[in-house]
Amino acid sequence: MMDLSQVFYPESVAIVGASDRNIRYYVEAMVEAGKLKVFVVNPNYEEVSGVKSYPSLTDVPERVDYVVVAVPAAQTPSVLLECAKKGVKVVHIFTSGFSETGTAEGRALEEKLAEIARCSGFRIIGPNCMGVYCPESGLRFVNDQPGEPGPVAFISQSGGRAVNLVANARLRNVRFSKVVSYGNACDLDFVDFLEYFKDDPKTSIIMGYVEGFKKTDGLLELLKETCMRKPVAILKGGVSEEGARAAAFHTGSLAGSARVWDGVCKQTGVIQVEFFEDLLDLAAGFMYAKPPGGSGVAVMTNSGGSSVVYADVCAKYGLRVPEFEEETQRRLRSFIPVAGSSVKNPLDAWMAFARGKMMEALDAAASDRNVHSIIIELQPENFHVYSRRALDIRDEMAEIAIESCRNVVKEHDKPVFIVVNSSYYHETERAMAKFFQDAGFPVFSSLQGAVKTISKMYLYGRFKDAREDDHQPPQDNYEGSFPD
Amino acid sequence: MMDLSQVFYPESVAIVGASDRNIRYYVEAMVEAGKLKVFVVNPNYEEVSGVKSYPSLTDVPERVDYVVVAVPAAQTPSVLLECAKKGVKVVHIFTSGFSETGTAEGRALEEKLAEIARCSGFRIIGPNCMGVYCPESGLRFVNDQPGEPGPVAFISQSGGRAVNLVANARLRNVRFSKVVSYGNACDLDFVDFLEYFKDDPKTSIIMGYVEGFKKTDGLLELLKETCMRKPVAILKGGVSEEGARAAAFHTGSLAGSARVWDGVCKQTGVIQVEFFEDLLDLAAGFMYAKPPGGSGVAVMTNSGGSSVVYADVCAKYGLRVPEFEEETQRRLRSFIPVAGSSVKNPLDAWMAFARGKMMEALDAAASDRNVHSIIIELQPENFHVYSRRALDIRDEMAEIAIESCRNVVKEHDKPVFIVVNSSYYHETERAMAKFFQDAGFPVFSSLQGAVKTISKMYLYGRFKDAREDDHQPPQDNYEGSFPD
């Protein structure tokens, strides 16, 4: 079997079937990335988006490592035979109309593609998918994908959601090592990509969206091994009866039951997630914070209502918002007035902000022995509705807050999670989020997102510690279950 | 007992204790609303934000209906005695430092306030709260609150969250009849406001955030009666042990257990919610759609991955995404190509959009007997990443989509829910959301928000129907439970 690095690091790409009306964006996006030799193959065009078009793959005068196929389904076998002739190593089949149609012809055609690949020694991604985005090599599947790499790999059976996740990751300062949308998986499947990312030094966090696993041999062992090295968070689609039907017609997948999947996660350490947004929350969490060493959370907010609901939601997700030790309360009370505040935890402490005591307040909270992580909630509204001059001090307050957060991480080695609530005052929201993101902190747009993430990170940390310490069969050691 | 309309519709307001450094925003906000006579009382100032300041309440030369008190806690009793002398009807005590401090003095001082009110015949809102926002009368508690009224009342024990909800409701086209933040509830409590809103012709949807009920006499009956007339959605804070501790130090409330609250909701028909965001989702849902007549949802999206997860999430929240009838599938297939689409439900139908067949597609889905509501998911990314020209047709496509949605409501009497995913492409997201909001459709920023809302609206509709049809004790009839 070939080294999968050829899937992610080709030097030349040919896009077969591209035209002004068909996947021109692959051509544009890869030319814009500027790292690969890009060829177009389409007998009906002289050029597509400024790139010369060849009548056939064998007419391309240079070596072609990687081919994107976007011709009608019926013509894909002949293109694959050309790929074989040309000595191509990886073929991404964008085209749909195979097993996901639910027809015998569709299934037969897909099997034929796999057969040609097996005989010819190249590998197939797809069919019915968006293929690979790899910032380092310049592979992209749509316009506007960032050129900077990051530590997150995303293995997605859905193309649309891969496009979406990459786009919206920019809001979270989340960047990718590699993203692969692999559709019907007639050859390369989840397990192949996971195997690669397990060892990939450029990847330290793995996210997945899976509808069904075609190859299951060795999957459990591989998941266990990988989870010991890097967090693996997976959204499993098709866990309900109607979701499974949708999965069958989306990627031709046979989805399993929720219960089986739950068992797999518990055995292997996979972090289960429920929504696509959760994947980004977790990616931001793992990128910019370490898993907390315990379940105790200190919450700092300027809304008493929020503070109550945070405590409830933390409890629901297996975290605690422990009452601060007496010493902590004493320290806080020395500069936070009694009226309109609480120093028990949650810390309802607008006054600490307003009086420039953020550093002292956070230092006191982080010194508490029962606190293992800190959530700071910021409301963009506060800079607009109480005083029209408050916006002038927004950036100054953010600087102080960031210094205070850095102190927590440096002096106390405890992770800090920032919530900037999504707001009508969007510009303020974005500015505040960006301040903290640029300073290297994970930012969430809701209480729920932050609490779910901390809970899952904490359980992942506990799972890893238990395995490392005891060398016991994991299912005996790992009692927590990942709530979702 | 006085008519509570005086709480919401005073003609003159005095703000006692306002200064350049203290709640100046009340003065500014109410002057800006331009509907009330606004007086300031503060012996240390000649004027505050351009409004003449009087040395004491009794110096104000005109009648004062409503007073906002923002002097230090220790001085509040003497201000209240002045209120009595002046013949004020409603006193909102902004000041904190009472029972929520957990001290005997705090509790005694709060009891004294209630005592003065009882003897003098005026009513108290608070202490430790933001008071009233009523667009019709011009009462406001912060800058930038909209002047247009709407059908939603919000009864909130938290001030910060009342501020926040009103601000962010603007993103959802949600407008309020009245909002009241009532804090420690030393006199007027949740039950008093609910009683008023039950009969208020300007209110057709009631939202609540409650930490503890001080008055419980008649509460259950009142909740039952009110829920029969109007949807009542409540976020109960302090349902965990640590949440209850936070509630005690926030509003001096004794919060109850999650189980008791769950029982109350099931008996009365109250819609339980988990997060503040859920309140806005429900307000938008009830404002712009009717509860679906059944659990069958048609989902239309252009992401196959989304379609699978929608089906899973619907199942989790007690909804179904039923396979379309044969006739429906036949109609859809007549214009949607087989490759890259599914016409089973979810409808993975970018093609229907792209080919201008939205009207036909939605009409076919809405004609299906198993479908009771429709979700349409729109991805702002699509207008950016696939083609740089696509943005030009965004508005045109939105027009077509809106016409198609109107047809569904008009011809099939089935509610339509729009999801515009929150996106890196914020301007496109907002423009698309606004199109649909202005056309009178509820718009959600996540799959989760839409599905939770539809589920709760459906169960609420079922609950009401069961009560109306059978005149049976509700707990026997109402088998569903509101998931959260």
DSSP string, A212-279: --S--TTHHHHHHHHHHHS-EEEEE---SHHHHHHHHHHH------HHHHHHHHHHHT-EEESSHHHH
User: Which pLDDT does position B3 carry in this prediction?
Assistant: 84
Higher-confidence residue of A471 and B346: namely B346
Smallest CA–CA distance, residue A274 to chain B, in Å, is 8
Identify residue B93 by its one-letter amino acid code: I
Residue B461 to residue B456: CA distance in whole angstroms: 9
- The number of C-beta contacts closer than 8 angstroms across A and B is 274
Ordered by start, the domain boundaries in chain B are 1-128, 148-288, 290-461
Q: Do B386 and A276 touch (CB under 8 A)?
A: no
B428 touches chain A (CB under 8 A): no
Calculate what percentage of chain A has a pLDDT beyond 70.
94
For residue A480, is pLDDT > 50? no
Is the Cβ of A354 closer than 8 Å to some Cβ of chain B? no
* Cα(A297)–Cα(A317) distance, integer angstroms: 12
Q: Which residue of A has its CA nearest to B296?
A: A242
Q: Which of B25, B100, B101 sits opposite A385 (nearest CB)?
A: B25
What is the CATH T-level fold of the domain B1-128, as seen in this structure? Answer: Rossmann fold (3.40.50)
CA distance, residue B351 to nearest chain A CA (Å) = 13
- Evaluate whether A148-288 and A290-461 have a shared fold: yes
Question: Considering chain A, what is the average pLDDT of its residues?
Answer: 92
Judged by a CB distance cut-off of 8 A, whether residue A311 touches chain B is yes
The CATH label, of 3.30.420.40, 3.30.310.220, 3.40.50.300, 3.40.50.720, for the domain at A1-127 is 3.40.50.720
Q: Do B320 and A242 touch (CB under 8 A)?
A: yes
Extract the tokens encoding B188: 């007027």
Domain B148-288 has CATH 3.40.50.261: yes
Q: Which fold has domain B290-461?
A: Rossmann fold (3.40.50)
| Sheet (strand A205-210) strand order | A131-133, A176-181, A152-156, A205-210, A232-236, A271-273
pLDDT surpassing 90 at residue A344: no
The packing angle between helices B358-367 and B326-333, to 10°, is 170
> Per-residue pLDDT averaged across B21-34, rounded?
96
Residue of A nearest to B162 (CA): A305
Average pLDDT over every residue of B110-125: 97
The interface pTM score, or ipTM, of the predicted complex is 0.93
A186-204 pLDDT, tens per residue? Answer: 999 999 999 999 999 999 9
Look at residues A249, A89, A235, A222 and name the one whose alpha carbon lies nearest to residue A162.
A235
Residue of A nearest to B297 (CA): A242
B455 neighbors B313 (Cβ within 8 angstroms): no
Q: What percent of chain A has pLDDT over 90?
A: 79
| Whether the predicted pLDDT of B1 surpasses 80 | no
Q: Which residues of A touch B243 (CB under 8 A)?
A: 308-309, 311-312, 315
Which of B215, B465, B210 lies closest to A312, judged by CA? B210
Work out the pLDDT band at A350, boundaries 50, 70, 90. Answer: low
Mean pLDDT computed over B368-384? 94
> For chain A, how are helix, strand and coil distributed in percent, rounded to 5?
45, 15, 35
Please tell me the predicted confidence (pLDDT) of residue B346: 87
In sequence order, the β-bridge partners of residue B298 are B374
Question: Minimal Cα–Cα distance from B452 to chain A, Å?
Answer: 13
Give residue B471's pLDDT band: very low, low, confident or very high (50, 70, 90).
Answer: low
pLDDT higher than 50, residue A483: no
Whole-Å CA distances, B138 to B3, B10, B13, B30, B160 = 19, 9, 10, 6, 20
Cβ–Cβ below 8 Å for B250 and A387: no
pLDDT digits (tens, 9 = 90+) for A141-180: 999 999 999 999 999 999 999 999 999 999 999 999 999 9
User: How high is the pLDDT of residue B481?
Assistant: 39
- The pLDDT of residue A139 is 98
A449 contact partners, CB below 8 Å, separation of at least 6: A277, A278, A281, A419
> Token pair for residue A479?
């009692």
- Alpha carbons B342 and B328: distance in angstroms, whole number: 12
A320 within 8 A of A296, measured Cβ to Cβ: yes
A286, A330 Cβ separation under 8 angstroms: no
Q: Is A390 on the interface with B (CB under 8 A)?
A: no
The residue-averaged pLDDT of B282-301 equals 96
Name the residue facing B158 among A143, A303, A338 (closest C-beta): A303
A403 vs B: CB within 8 A? no
